Amino acid sequence: METAEARTKCPECDNDVVAERNWTPGGVNDSGGWVLQCAKCDHKFAFHLGQDINDSRVLSGATVLATYDRESGNRGEVLGRYGLQG
């Protein structure tokens, strides 16, 4: 398994969000992302992480509310539950 740090910022308050992206080269390609809730201002937003989303995690700055998987085609449904578009 390989690991890399992924960073984003809350689009509302600019709070730093740090994630640990874990993937297995040649493994399952569960490409997707999360609906995150900012730890500072509670704003909800989408973050596309990429491959092997189920093995990755947020380290700081936000809470994962939901996961979407591009292959299953549930991105729009998951984002819609939180009033997000994508």
The reported pLDDT for the residue numbered 42 is 98
The reported pLDDT for the residue numbered 84 is 96
Domain boundaries, the chain: 2-80
Structure tokens at 23: 């993937």
The reported pLDDT for the residue numbered 20 is 94
Point out the least confidently predicted range of 33-37, 69-73, 78-82. 69-73
The reported pLDDT for the residue numbered 51 is 76
Kindly give, in sequence order, each residue whose CB lies less than 8 Å from that of residue 83, ignoring residues fewer than 6 positions away. Answer: 44
pLDDT in tens, 25-54: 776 667 889 999 999 999 999 999 887 788
